[in-house]
């Protein structure tokens, strides 16, 4: 099997489960050396074991709380070289109306998505700039493009990530650092199933132009492509696997 990411060291934040685990496993299958980050050691170790079973490779475990920014960024800085950063860690919006979003919920959303993405990126930049190469892949959302009527705090946080993507692409281009984002549509994950009833999921799938929700691997394929040399001339872009629900353009 071709391994286009062989020799690349990749950090995927929040890769102890869900989409992050899917990204980490696929990137490992394509030859990357993985750093699996999560707040929960058991979850991170499960991902590492899955990588070992599928690829025979050993992965590094990084345990830190993304909301404890100093601890989180120090742990990343201590890793040394990171060729590719996937800013995946996130929390769901849980279908809250404006009146139901208190300051604690609001702050958590922005601490994890916005602060976490920003300061993880800041922590890997010294090595990337020194090497004059690197890839940063942010995970945004379809809700950052079209909004949603019950997760405005989530949509706003993901919109900020899209803004980071476009700005960083311009700022970091002199060091040949590519910055792009993947904005998933509805995906079959535990987070989705926890926030929607099975009937709601079936009803919504009927409205999808391509007839179904994305599966985690559909999103991971986009991440792996952006991590590869095939996208060396692509930067500042947001691509959205979303079953055709929202058409991305400028």
Tell me the catalytic residues: 154
Tell me the backbone φ, ψ of residue 142, rounded to 5 degrees: -55, -30
Nearest 5°: CA angle at 142, between 139 and 145?
Answer: 110
CB atoms within 10 A of CB 182: 26
Instruction: Answer whether 26's CB lies under 8 Å from 217's CB.
Output: yes
3-state secondary structure 129-187: HHHCCEEEEEECCCHHHHCCCCCHHHHHHHHHHHHHHHHHHHHHHHHCEEEEEECCCCE
Can you count the helices (H) and strands (E) in the chain?
10, 7
Cα(250)–Cα(239) distance, integer angstroms: 12
Cα(213)–Cα(115) distance, integer angstroms: 29
Q: Of 238, 219, 227, 234, whose CA–CA distance to 165 is shortest?
A: 238
N- to C-terminal Cα distance for the chain?
36
């Amino acid at each position: 099997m071709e391994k286009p990411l062989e020799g690349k060291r990749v950090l995927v934040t929040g890769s102890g489960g869900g989409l992050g685990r899917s990204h980490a496993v696929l990137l490992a299958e394509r030859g990357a050396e993985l750093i699996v980050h999560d707040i929960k050691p058991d979850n991170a170790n499960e991902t590492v074991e899955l990588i070992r079973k599928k690829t025979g490779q050993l992965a590094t475990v990084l345990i830190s709380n993304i909301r404890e920014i100093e601890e989180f960024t120090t742990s990343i800085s201590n890793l040394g070289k990171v060729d590719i950063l996937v800013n995946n860690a996130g929390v769901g919006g849980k279908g809250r109306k404006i009146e139901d979003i208190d300051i604690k919920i609001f702050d958590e959303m922005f601490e994890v998505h916005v602060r976490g993405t920003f300061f993880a990126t800041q922590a890997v930049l010294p090595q990337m700039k020194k090497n004059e190469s690197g890839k940063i892949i942010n995970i945004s959302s379809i809700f950052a493009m079209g909004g949603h009527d019950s997760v405005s705090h989530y949509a706003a946080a993901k919109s900020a990530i899209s803004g980071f993507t476009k700005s960083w692409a311009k700022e970091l281009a002199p060091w040949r650092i590519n910055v792009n984002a993947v904005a998933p549509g509805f995906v079959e994950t535990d987070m989705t199933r926890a926030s929607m009833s099975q009937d709601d999921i079936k009803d919504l799938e009927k409205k999808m132009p391509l007839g179904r929700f994305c599966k985690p691997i559909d999103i991971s394929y986009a991440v792996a492509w952006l991590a590869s040399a095939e996208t060396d001339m692509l930067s500042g872009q947001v691509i959205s696997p979303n079953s055709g629900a929202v058409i991305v353009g400028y």
